[in-house]
């Protein structure tokens, strides 16, 4: 097939295939294409190439990305990440939902920070509980680091299960023993517990009171 | 057809940017929705395969953080592409450092792109993929910006840091090579 000699028109074929030419120019070019076998073939090639190249790009979860971007840029805080594998960021089709699953957006450093605050909160609970009289709610002694210090107070048996206050001390100990060894799932469950505790105990809530997820304004 | 209005709606991008400057976060959301998928295609054309969502997200975050430096003489999408490209180059550089590899030459880059062909199920699509893979990275970048994004040469030149004339030549050389490849198969 002979090449089209009108290079200026040929040059616009990809824009015609793309649909970005102004209507008048597109009409003029289509009139040429209708009379030019070379341009007809080239336009057909361009249309199929365009489809193939577009198809190789993953369909993004654009709503989730938009939420992360607005969260990161409106608060000046570290970028929240789409966590691959946790909630697939690449979806077969675009979604109209603007609410991403919350757990996908909790950054690891926030989980770690929240978990370490949980330690503080947990260890404080025995002191804060109104029903904790001095002789039934001892300090959780095992958390004291270093050599055992002889207490001036004759501490009651701290190992008696019914004396150890609820969740607090025991959970706090687990975290204190090896926060870095915890799995994501464990950290997230700690985070959820923290949210429960938050309802009753207020301990340095600054970093936690900030929404982890930006409220989507919608379009 | 994806987003055909992209090159005729610059005023709207500008309006959204102004709204964003005024504190309207919905403007940012609208801009992400408008340009994210084009960034995904562009990243794929650069041979990126993994973590494109993260790349696109980082591109927008960088863009909004430095929106003051955006010059309205180019389109927002062009500017986003240049940011995305810089991030891709940074990625490739750190990947290379991590693997302690020698400088990737063009041949390597082509091979890297070509390796994606396993994904292609359809034979016709496979032929196109192979033809595009034979281009040099620069030809491929110019060609895909022209064909999949419908960009004018002036905008392409900004993304690939070249001239309009050179981009025109790259496009036509690429088209010629692709036609040859397709007729060889
Ligand atoms: Zn012609």
Cα of first residue to Cα of last residue in chain B, in angstroms, is: 28
Cβ–Cβ contact B36 with A under 8 A: yes
pLDDT in tens, chain B (185 residues): 444 343 334 448 989 998 898 888 889 999 999 999 999 999 999 989 889 999 999 999 999 999 888 887 889 999 999 999 999 999 988 888 887 655 545 445 444 554 444 444 467 788 898 999 999 999 999 999 999 999 999 999 999 999 999 999 999 999 999 999 988 86
- CA–centroid distance, A10 to ligand 1, in Å, is 6
Q: How far is B77 from chain A (nearest CA, A)?
A: 14
User: Rounded to whole angstroms, how far apart are CA atoms B159 and B46?
Assistant: 12
Query: Tens digit of pLDDT for each residue in A72-102?
Result: 987 444 444 554 444 333 333 333 333 333 3
Q: What is the ipTM of this complex?
A: 0.79
- CA distance readout (Å), B135 to A176, B103, B107, B172: 57, 19, 10, 12
Q: What's A146's DSSP letter?
A: S
CB-nearest to A53 from B28, B147, B172 is: B147
H helices then E strands: how many in chain B? Answer: 9, 0
- CA–centroid distance, A41 to ligand 1, in Å, is 9
Write down the pTM of the prediction: 0.58
- Token match 């340095």: residue? A204
Cβ within 8 Å, pair B32-A19: no
Cβ–Cβ contact B56 with A under 8 A: yes
User: Rounded to whole angstroms, how far apart are CA atoms B169 and B164?
Assistant: 9
Name chain B contacts of A20, Cβ cutoff 8 Å: 4, 6-8, 150
Which contiguous run of DSSP H or E holds residue A90? none
What is the dihedral sign for C-alpha A79, A84, A87, A92? positive
For chain A, the domains span 7-56, 108-209
Backbone phi, psi, residue A203, to 5°:
-135, 115
User: Rounded to whole angstroms, how far apart are CA atoms B123 and B182?
Assistant: 12
- CA–centroid distance, A27 to ligand 1, in Å, is 14
Do residues B37 and B56 make contact, with C-beta atoms less than 8 angstroms apart? no
User: Over the range B54-86, which residues count as b (16 or more CB within 10 Å of their CB) and which as e?
Assistant: bbbbbbbbbbbeebeebeeebbbbbbbbbbbbe
Do residues B43 and B83 make contact, with C-beta atoms less than 8 angstroms apart? no
Cβ–Cβ contact B51 with A under 8 A: yes
User: Rounded to whole angstroms, how far apart are CA atoms B146 and B178?
Assistant: 14
pLDDT at B174: 97
- CA distance readout (Å), A55 to A48, B38, B117, B137: 11, 11, 13, 19
The domains located in chain B, with CATH, are: 1-104 (1.10.1740.10), 107-185 (1.10.10.10)
- CA–centroid distance, A39 to ligand 1, in Å, is 4
CB-nearest to B128 from A49, A63, A82 is: A49
Which residues lie at CB < 5 A from ion ligand 1? A 4, 36, 39
Q: How many other C-beta atoms are found inside a 10 Å radius of the C-beta of residue A165?
A: 19
Q: How far is B73 from chain A (nearest CA, A)?
A: 19
pLDDT along chain A (219 residues), means of 10: 86 96 96 96 94 89 94 62 44 35 37 43 44 41 39 41 41 42 53 47 39 39
Q: How far is A187 from chain B (nearest CA, A)?
A: 23
Q: Count Cβ–Cβ pairs < 8 Å, chain A vs chain B.
A: 149
Nearest to A50, CA basis, from B11, B47, B185, B41: B41
Do residues B76 and B96 make contact, with C-beta atoms less than 8 angstroms apart? no
Residues 6+ apart with CB under 8 A from B156: B142, B145, B146, B164, B167
Q: Alpha-carbon dihedral of residues A129, A130, A136, A138, nearest 10 degrees?
A: 40
């Amino acid at each position: 097939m002979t090449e089209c000699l009108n290079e200026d028109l040929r040059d616009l074929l990809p824009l015609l295939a793309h649909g970005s030419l102004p209507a008048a120019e597109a009409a003029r070019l289509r009139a040429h294409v209708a009379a030019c076998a070379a341009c007809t073939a080239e336009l057909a090639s361009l249309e199929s190439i365009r489809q193939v190249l577009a198809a190789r790009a993953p369909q993004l979860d654009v709503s989730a990305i938009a939420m992360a971007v607005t969260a990161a840029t409106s608060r000046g805080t570290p970028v929240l990440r789409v966590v691959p594998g946790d909630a697939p960021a690449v979806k077969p089709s675009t979604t109209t939902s603007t609410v991403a699953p919350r757990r996908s957006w909790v950054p690891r450093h926030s989980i770690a920070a929240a978990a370490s605050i949980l330690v503080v909160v947990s260890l404080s609970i025995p002191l804060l509980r109104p029903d904790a009289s001095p002789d039934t709610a001892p300090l959780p002694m095992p958390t004291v680091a270093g050599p055992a210090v002889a207490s001036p107070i004759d501490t009651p048996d701290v190992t008696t299960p019914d004396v150890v206050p609820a969740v607090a001390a025991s959970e706090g100990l687990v975290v204190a023993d090896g926060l870095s060894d915890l799995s994501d799932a464990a950290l997230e469950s700690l985070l959820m517990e923290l949210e429960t505790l938050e309802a009753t105990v207020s301990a340095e809530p600054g970093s936690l009171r900030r929404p982890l997820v930006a409220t989507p304004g919608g379009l | 057809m994806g987003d055909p209005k992209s090159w005729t709606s610059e005023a709207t991008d500008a309006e959204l940017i102004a709204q964003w400057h005024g504190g309207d976060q919905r403007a940012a959301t609208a801009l992400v929705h408008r340009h994210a998928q084009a960034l995904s295609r562009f990243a794929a054309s650069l041979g990126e395969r993994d973590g494109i969502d993260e790349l696109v997200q980082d591109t927008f975050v960088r863009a909004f953080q430095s929106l003051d430096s955006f010059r309205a003489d180019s389109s927002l999408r062009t500017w986003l592409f240049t940011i995305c490209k810089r991030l891709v180059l940074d990625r490739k550089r750190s990947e290379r450092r991590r693997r302690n590899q020698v400088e990737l030459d063009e041949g390597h880059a082509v091979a890297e792109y070509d390796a994606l062909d396993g994904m292609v199920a359809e034979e016709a699509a496979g032929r196109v993929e192979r033809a595009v893979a034979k281009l040099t990275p620069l030809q491929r970048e110019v060609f895909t910006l022209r064909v999949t994004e419908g960009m004018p040469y002036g905008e392409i030149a900004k993304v690939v840091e070249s001239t309009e004339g050179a981009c025109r030549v790259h496009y036509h050389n690429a088209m010629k090579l692709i036609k040859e490849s397709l007729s060889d198969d």
